[in-house]
A = this chain, B = another copy of it.
Amino acid sequence: MNPKSSPRSGKRAVAKRGDGPVTLEAVALAAGVSPSTVSRILNGTAVVSELKKKAVEDAIAELGFVPNPVARGLAGGRTLSIGVITQAIDSPFYGAALRGIEDELDPLGYRALFVSGHWNAAAESRCVEVLRSRRVDGIIVLTGRLTDQALKTCAKNVPIVVTGRSLKASGLISLNFDNFEGGRLATQHLIDLGHRSIAFISGDPDHPDAVERLRGYRAALEAAGLAYDAKLVIPGEFHEVSGLLAVDRLLESRRRFTAIFAANDQMAVGAVLGLHRRSLRVPEDVSVVGFDDLPSSLFSIPPLSTIHQPAYELGRLAASAMVRLLAGDKSTEELPGPRLIARESSRRLAG
């Protein structure tokens, strides 16, 4: 394409030229050492005399040398890329986590390669293959549907950090969030406000987060001596339409309820809209509490009470755990626990 530079041209005595990026070899030439030495200094792989080190560092600075990650990947097996299996690249919930990963990795020279698994084990397996063929140094799996076993097997070949479950295996770190406690807190909040008939819009039952949140709901009811009423539990699928439909079903059932706890904010917002359509006001007629604390929930009408999930921190922690794992350190920081954010969609039961 570019006729001016022949990629096959032999080496010149003086390697420096405007055309083409500066190579490690050019640095070696300029510093009067061998390429091996430059490589070692770059990677901190061996002790090198201060003198040569200085010379090489100067040459690097002067030439503006940036190692080629592609060549590095081929030769050494390290690409400074971390694969990230997210469920949808445009997920409002995982967005913050992706940003956290990016923020953590960027200053360390790592790049994230984001791929979407679409909540589908087969697609996620394909993602793993794609990422491995790209020679990523490690893979961060944001929840997803891969089995524990699949993940463990995978971790034998490539370091894994997985969120949304607790799992012990070599080469693998898991980072879980306490969804049970979150569900409990949300329900307790409503109970504290005097509500006795609390509906629950549940998430996808084969999603672990969903079952944990339901368990939390039940635990809070039980602790308060309130009967669990299966008719007040409506299945949903974690999206807005689920919330809307759930309200319709709830209303049609003619069961009395003064509050709704939705297993995520998207369903909560859908529920609020459903109530609005039936001319029921939030929180005057019905209190609503969500789960996740999406960025947009702060600006819902009314601003949504919810359980804050530290998605951004989750991303940062996952990324830093990965980087440490690559360095052979399996320690991980604790993820902040669930926290109730009481805003305007929930209030004390009148009368």
Question: Is A90's CB under 8 angstroms from B79's CB?
Answer: no
Question: Is A69's CB under 8 angstroms from B300's CB?
Answer: no
Q: Tell me the A293-321 residues at the B interface (CB within 8 Å).
A: 295-296, 298-303
Q: Which of B66, B74, B89 contacts A70 (CB 8 A)?
A: B74
Determine if A73 is an interface residue (Cβ-Cβ < 8 Å). yes
**1/0 per position for A109-152, CB-CB distance to B under 8 A?**
00111111000000000000110011100000000000000000
Known pairs A69-B133, A99-B88, A133-B69; A300 contacts B298 (CB<8 A): no
Contacting residues, chain B, for A296 (C-beta < 8 A):
92, 269, 296
Known pairs A99-B88, A111-B134, A113-B113; A240 contacts B273 (CB<8 A): no
Quickly give the copy total for this chain. Answer: 2
Determine if A173 is an interface residue (Cβ-Cβ < 8 Å). no
Question: Is B299's CB under 8 angstroms from A269's CB?
Answer: yes
**1/0 per position for A61-96, CB-CB distance to B under 8 A?**
000001011110110010100000000111110011
- Name the residue of chain B whose CB is nearest to the CB of A116: B102
Complex-state Cα separation, A45 to B333, whole angstroms: 51
- Name the residue of chain B whose CB is nearest to the CB of A101: B89
Contacting residues, chain B, for A115 (C-beta < 8 A):
102, 111
- For residue A259, give the distance in angstroms from its CB to the closest CB of chain B: 18
Complex-state Cα separation, A96 to B92, whole angstroms: 11
Determine if A28 is an interface residue (Cβ-Cβ < 8 Å). no
Contacting residues, chain B, for A298 (C-beta < 8 A):
240
Question: Is B89's CB under 8 angstroms from A98's CB?
Answer: yes
Question: Is B300's CB under 8 angstroms from A301's CB?
Answer: yes
Complex-state Cα separation, A92 to B135, whole angstroms: 30
Question: Is A130's CB under 8 angstroms from B102's CB?
Answer: no
Complex-state Cα separation, A77 to B135, whole angstroms: 17
- Name the residue of chain B whose CB is nearest to the CB of A88: B99
Question: Is A133's CB under 8 angstroms from B68's CB?
Answer: yes
- Name the residue of chain B whose CB is nearest to the CB of A269: B299
Q: Which of B66, B79, B113, B273 contacts A111 (CB 8 A)?
A: B113
Contacting residues, chain B, for A88 (C-beta < 8 A):
99
Complex-state Cα separation, A240 to B91, whole angstroms: 19
- Name the residue of chain B whose CB is nearest to the CB of A241: B299
Determine if A276 is an interface residue (Cβ-Cβ < 8 Å). yes
Complex-state Cα separation, A303 to B270, whole angstroms: 11
Contacting residues, chain B, for A69 (C-beta < 8 A):
133-134
Complex-state Cα separation, A37 to B272, whole angstroms: 63
Determine if A21 is an interface residue (Cβ-Cβ < 8 Å). yes
Contacting residues, chain B, for A102 (C-beta < 8 A):
89, 115-116
Complex-state Cα separation, A95 to B295, whole angstroms: 14
- Name the residue of chain B whose CB is nearest to the CB of A90: B95
Question: Is A301's CB under 8 angstroms from B299's CB?
Answer: no
Contacting residues, chain B, for A21 (C-beta < 8 A):
133
**1/0 per position for A228-255, CB-CB distance to B under 8 A?**
0000000000001000100000000000
**21 A-B pairs, CB-CB below 8 angstroms?**
A21-B133, A66-B129, A66-B133, A68-B133, A69-B134, A70-B134, A70-B135, A74-B74, A89-B99, A90-B96, A92-B95, A92-B296, A99-B116, A102-B115, A111-B115, A111-B130, A111-B134, A240-B298, A244-B299, A269-B299, A270-B299
Contacts A66-B133, A70-B70, A240-B299 known; 8 new A-B pairs at CB < 8 A:
A70-B73, A90-B99, A95-B95, A111-B130, A112-B114, A240-B298, A269-B299, A296-B296
